[in-house]
């Protein structure tokens, strides 16, 4: 009877261990901290660091976009929070926006971030109620970023210098 118990327990334990190994190779964490973060995400207990998020928001409002992004990345290391990813995308938009031309590299990264934000909130359209922002939905931000990446004849229109940043 005891042998049977050992057999069942051994099978259960080793299958769980094998699943852990497959998960490790699939997620490829780079540090022990990333292992714990990924485990929290998998267990559904993951939360962003609110303090870092707020500090990033104040940097964003002071137009220190790179510093803000660094803080947001620290606040959401697993990139699992739609709101944080939306703000990261917005910081790429604001930094990359120019009266004469848009920084294509920053806009591309902005599209990647906003796509992450959209993917993280598939059930409802992501809306951010922040009075400092001119675009409140992820769809609006994505459209604006994608428009900035497109090349058209309107790019040579001299009147575009009059446009405003959102």
Nearer Cβ to another protein, position 29 or 77? 29
Closest CA to 91 of 122, 112, 120, 118: 112
CB of 14 to another protein, least distance (A): 4
Nearer Cβ to another protein, position 4 or 151? 4
Measured distance CA(106)–CA(42) in Å, rounded:
30
Kindly tell me the burial class for residue 113, based on how many C-beta atoms sit within 10 Å of its own C-beta (0-12, 13-18, 19 or more): buried
Give backbone dihedrals phi and psi of 127, rounded to 5 degrees, phi first.
-130, 135
Nearer Cβ to another protein, position 30 or 151? 30
Nearer Cβ to another protein, position 15 or 42? 15
Closest CA to 87 of 141, 124, 148: 141
Nearer Cβ to another protein, position 11 or 143? 11
CB of 11 to another protein, least distance (A): 5
| Cα-based angle 104, 109, 113 (whole degrees, multiple of 5) | 145
CB of 3 to another protein, least distance (A): 4
CB of 164 to another protein, least distance (A): 42
List residues near another protein by CB under 8 A: 2-4, 6-11, 13-15, 17-18, 21, 24-25, 28-31
CB of 84 to another protein, least distance (A): 23
53 contacts 64 by C-beta, under 8 angstroms: no
């Amino acid at each position: 009877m005891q042998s049977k118990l050992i057999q069942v327990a051994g099978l259960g334990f080793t299958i769980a261990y094998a699943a852990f190994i497959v998960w490790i190779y699939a997620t490829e964490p780079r540090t022990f901290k990333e292992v714990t973060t990924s485990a929290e995400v998998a267990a559904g207990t993951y939360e962003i660091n609110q303090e870092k998020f707020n500090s990033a928001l104040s940097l964003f409002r002071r137009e220190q976009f790179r510093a803000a992004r660094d803080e947001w990345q620290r606040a959401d290391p697993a990139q699992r929070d739609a709101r944080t990813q939306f703000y990261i995308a917005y910081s790429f938009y604001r930094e990359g926006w120019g009266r004469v031309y848009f920084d294509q590299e920053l806009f591309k990264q902005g599209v990647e971030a906003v796509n992450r934000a959209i993917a993280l909130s598939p059930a409802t359209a992501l809306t951010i109620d922040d009075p400092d922002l001119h675009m409140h939905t992820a769809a609006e931000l994505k459209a604006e970023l994608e428009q900035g990446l497109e090349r058209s004849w309107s790019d040579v229109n001299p009147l575009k210098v009059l446009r405003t940043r959102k």
